[in-house]
Amino acid sequence: MEILVFGAGSLGSLVGGLLARAHDVTLVGRDRHVAAVQADGLRITGVETFDTSPTATTDARGASAELAVVTVKAYDSPTAARVLATGDYDAVCSLQNGMGNEDVFAEYVDAAVLAGTATYGARLAGPGHVEWTGRGTITLGPWRPPDGVALADRIAAAFRAADLDAEATADVRRRLWEKLAVNAAINPVTALARVENGALAAGPLSELARTAATETAEVARADGVELAAEEAREAVETVVRETARNRSSMLEDVTRERRTEIDAINGYVVDRAVATGESVPTNRALASLIRGWEDGAGLGGED
């Protein structure tokens, strides 16, 4: 399968590198990383260590592929969508954090749109080098058309052909809300406290994370998705336990003074709470604190 991975950061490089073992993959990324991959290939270390040689470019305008996998930050979705709209794809699949990305691609791109979640752990160690920090799973489901399960099945099978743990589901909205609960609980708390995920296993940070997850589940149910509060809390506890030594993506962003994805995570929970009449004081406070840090650091801004 011809696959374009738009957003060759940590996750995009790992997924693209793994897919390149069985498919014709093109990574779209930043100058230094792309130049290194073009010159010497992509080095993957950690869970497994190997070299692979996907095509790499900084410009995807006018490109074509059977599948475009998008792994950019949520606030870059409009830019990615406008670029992808200049090309030709059978399907576009988001493996991003947060909510709302799929609707952006559905607006711009004349292709089937799939939603996905990925729990693989990755860290960009340097140009041309990604560290695989943890095995995970990928779940894919149809977004537009909503009954496109057969396409999701075919793409999941293509992922499995490259030894990724992937499955298709017709209930992808629930999976997205469950992932949102995990991100809403872990990302801002670890970023504000400057701690690894394992620090949320017990104590006051654990209670704060559990409350954020509970609120998110309440909003999901008000939005028509059956996600029990206990299921959301258990999902958080599982991720905290299995990634105890990991630093969340938002902690990495704050540490490196980069814009975060708060608007698509806790900010999305707040927005849907307003629309559905729910109260989410913990998510609102976490969103305000991160946005306040972004303002103070001169980051943020509208797309």
Catalytic (active-site) positions: 179
How far apart, in whole angstroms, are the C-alpha atoms of residue 13 and residue 15?
6
Q: DSSP string of 135-153?
A: ---EEEEEEESTT-HHHHH
Beta bridge mates, 64: 88
Give the residue from 56, 10, 46 showing the smallest Cα distance to 256.
Answer: 10
Give the residue from 259, 300, 267, 272 showing the smallest Cα distance to 285.
Answer: 267
φ, ψ dihedrals at 55, nearest 5°:
-70, 150
The gap from C-alpha 106 to its chain's centroid, in whole angstroms, comes to 17
For residue 73, the SS3 value is coil
Query: What residue spans of 41-171 are helical by DSSP H?
Result: 77-84, 101-108, 149-161
Here the tokens at position 165 are 């743990």
> Residue 99 carries which side chain, given as an amino acid letter?
M
The gap from C-alpha 216 to its chain's centroid, in whole angstroms, comes to 17
Contact predicate 200/213, CB 8 Å: no
How far apart, in whole angstroms, are the C-alpha atoms of residue 100 and residue 84?
17
Give the residue from 138, 65, 133 showing the smallest Cα distance to 95.
Answer: 138
Q: Tokens 């299921």 identify what position?
A: 231
Angle between helices 229-242 and 172-193 (to 10 degrees): 60
How far apart, in whole angstroms, are the C-alpha atoms of residue 159 and residue 66?
13
